[in-house]
């Protein structure tokens, strides 16, 4: 992928032609002068994306004589009463590099000026956070404040309930955070744990993945999972353009006295459900897929070959060939003591990226911040993806 300068004539198409038209008789209220009955010129045209030639709606067009207009739903703009003279005209839009050109306006003339803008490399910040039911007084506001400080675009929340939604939305609004879309799982797991996502972009194809009974990949026995939390699958077209599939999970927790490793058995069986669902429904090499959430990997054994994280990483399906393996981001790129919970030393929470998504991961972007004040006993896991011109 190469970056292309917006100032290169080869990539910025700029058409100008002059058309005679009837004189304007409008009144101009400019910053430095007031002119009546002047003979204005017009500048109009279209603004499109250079990579795919789609129209850009709401792009800002500012001329240094003092006018600003915005492109309409067809990408068209019209500066209908432009003061004659030599000016600069600047085109800008969210996620695009702005472009400035000189323009000469003459009375009675229409300048038709069509511009193709170059999309910025754009960051997408994704987080996963077990928010412990948001039961701490002030926790909705604490969460909103941290989300603002981290510029989160998409956040998966575990241990949350639907009645938290209006409280969190209110806190986000009062903190100036715009994440207008949220979706919850339909089902909950014992005792009252839903999984939810808040997003800058719409959430599509949301579904609960539930198997009351499933086969443990190690022992081959059938395991009851009926009281456990569903896996939450959904798609978001990040930046409005790039489809990313999410598998959000909150696997079976560990308890202190479990000599039979029954909880480990349930976690790896749930992990196998995620792996099997992805293998059955996605192209693991080309689809952009993220697995994230509280995997409750509390035991050293959870990190062993053939166990929870190994299964979530698609390592166990063919250990000799890692080509389809997911990358466990914080487990790989952060130190072993990058704990994700404050009350004991464990890496419970994870973000994993598919081979098709990992190229978009920003090196060294993974971090486990400690929000203060904190809404939870867990810490969030945060990564940045970067999209650009292709
Ligand atoms: Ca709650
Ligand atoms: Ca594999």
Task: Indicate which ligand has the atom closest to the C-alpha of 285.
Answer: 2
* CA torsion through residues 298, 300, 303, 306, sign: negative
Q: 92-100: which pairs have CB atoms within 8 A and are 24 or more residues apart?
A: 92/59, 92/60, 92/62, 93/47, 93/56, 93/58, 93/59, 93/60, 93/117, 95/119, 95/120, 95/122, 95/239, 96/49, 96/56, 96/59, 96/120, 97/6, 99/6, 99/12
> Which one of the ligands is nearest to 313 CA?
2
Return the residue matching tokens 């053939």.
306
**Three-class DSSP category at 157:** strand
- Choice between 165 and 2, residue whose per-residue pLDDT is larger: 165
Dist. CA 352–CA 345, nearest whole Å: 20
pLDDT at residue 250 in the model: 98
pLDDT at residue 30 in the model: 34
The rounded Å distance from CA 315 to ligand 2 centre is 4
Look at residue 313 in the predicted model and tell me its pLDDT.
98
Options 3.60.10.10, 3.20.10.10, 3.30.479.10, 1.10.10.10; CATH of 122-387: 3.60.10.10
Instruction: Give CA angle at 152 (149, 157), nearest 5°.
Output: 110
Q: Is the pLDDT reported for residue 337 higher than 50?
A: yes
More confident residue, 257 or 231: 231
Distance between Cα 291 and ligand 2 center (Å): 15
Residue ranges per structural domain of the chain: 14-117, 122-387
Q: How confident is the model at residue 255 (pLDDT cuts 50, 70, 90)?
A: confident
Give the Cα separation of 309 and 326 in Å (integer). 10
Lowest-pLDDT range of 69-73, 176-180, 279-283, 385-389: 385-389
Residue 140 confidence class, pLDDT cut points 50, 70, 90: very high
For 14-117, CATH number? Answer: 2.60.40.10
pLDDT in tens, 73-101: 999 999 988 899 999 999 999 778 889 99
Interval between CA 287 and ligand 2 midpoint (Å): 15
CA 23–ligand 2 middle distance (angstroms): 70
Going by DSSP bridges, is the β-strand pair 41-49/109-112 parallel, antiparallel, or unpaired?
parallel
CA of 217 to the centre of ligand 2 (A): 15
Instruction: Give the model's pLDDT for residue 43.
Output: 94
Selection from 147, 148, 278 nearest residue 156 by Cα? 147
pLDDT at 37: 45
| 327-335 mean pLDDT | 98
CB 81 within 8 Å of CB 40: yes
pLDDT band at 16 (very low <50, low <70, confident <90, very high): very low
Ligand nearest to the CA of 196: 1
- The environment of the single-atom ion ligand 2, i.e. residues with CB closer than 5 A, is 314, 317-318, 324-325
35 C-alpha to ligand 1 centroid (Å): 62
The mean pLDDT of 330-341, rounded to a whole number, is 97
Residue 239, SS3? coil
Q: Which of 198, 205, 260, 196 is nearest to 229 (CA)?
A: 196
Ligand closest to Cα of 355 equals 2
pLDDT at res. 51: 64
Predicted local confidence at residue 339, as pLDDT: 98
What DSSP line would sit under 267-293, residue for residue? HHHHHHHHHHHHHHHS-TTTS-EEEEE
359 alpha carbon – ligand 1 mean position (Å): 36
- pLDDT of 8 over the 60 cut: no
Instruction: Note the pLDDT of residue 121.
Output: 62
Cβ contact 321:273 at 8 Å: no
Q: Ligand 1 centroid to 164 CA: how many Å?
A: 5
Question: Of 102 and 256, which is predicted with more confidence?
Answer: 102
Tell me the pTM. 0.73
What would the mean pLDDT of 337-360 be, rounded to a whole number? 96
Cα 296 to averaged position of ligand 2 atoms, centre (Å): 22
CA–centroid distance, residue 55 to ligand 1 (Å): 42
């Amino acid at each position: 992928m190469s970056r292309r300068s917006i100032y290169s004539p080869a990539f910025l198409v700029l058409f100008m032609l002059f058309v005679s038209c009837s004189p304007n008789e409008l009144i101009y209220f400019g910053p430095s002068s007031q002119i009546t009955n002047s003979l204005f010129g017009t500048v109009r045209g279209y603004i499109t994306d250079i990579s795919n030639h789609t129209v850009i709606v709401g792009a800002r067009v500012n001329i240094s004589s003092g006018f600003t207009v915005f492109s309409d739903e067809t990408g068209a703009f019209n500066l209908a009463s432009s003061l004659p003279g030599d000016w600069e005209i600047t085109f800008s839009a969210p996620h695009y590099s702005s472009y400035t050109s000189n323009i000469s306006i003459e009375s009675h003339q229409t300048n038709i000026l069509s511009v193709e803008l170059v999309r910025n490399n754009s960051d997408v910040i994704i987080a996963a956070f077990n928010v412990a039911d948001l039961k701490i007084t002030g926790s909705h506001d604490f969460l909103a404040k941290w989300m603002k400080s981290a510029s989160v675009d998409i956040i998966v929340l575990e241990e949350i309930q639907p009645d938290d939604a209006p409280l969190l939305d209110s806190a986000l609004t009062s903190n100036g955070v715009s994440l207008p879309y949220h979706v919850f799982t339909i089902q909950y797991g014992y005792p009252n744990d839903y999984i939810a996502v808040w997003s800058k972009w719409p959430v599509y194809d949301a579904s609960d993945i539930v198997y009351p009974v499933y086969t443990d990949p190690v022992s081959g026995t059938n395991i009851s999972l009926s009281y456990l939390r569903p896996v939450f699958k959904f798609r978001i077209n990040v930046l409005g353009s790039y489809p990313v599939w999410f598998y959000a999970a909150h696997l079976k927790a560990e308890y202190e006295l479990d000599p039979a490793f029954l909880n480990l058995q349930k976690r790896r069986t749930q992990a196998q459900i995620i792996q099997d669902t992805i293998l059955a429904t996605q192209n693991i090499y080309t689809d952009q897929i993220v697995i994230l959430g509280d995997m409750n990997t509390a035991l050293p054994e959870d990190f062993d070959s053939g166990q929870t994280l190994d299964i979530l990483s698609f390592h166990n399906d063919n250990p000799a060939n890692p080509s389809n393996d997911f990358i466990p981001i914080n487990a790989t790129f952060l130190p072993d003591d990058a704990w994700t919970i404050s009350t004991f030393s464990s890496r419970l929470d994870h973000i994993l990226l598919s081979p098709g998504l990992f190229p978009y991961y920003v090196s060294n972007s993974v971090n486990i911040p400690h929000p203060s004040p904190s809404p939870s006993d867990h810490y969030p896991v945060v990564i940045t993806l970067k999209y650009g011109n292709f």
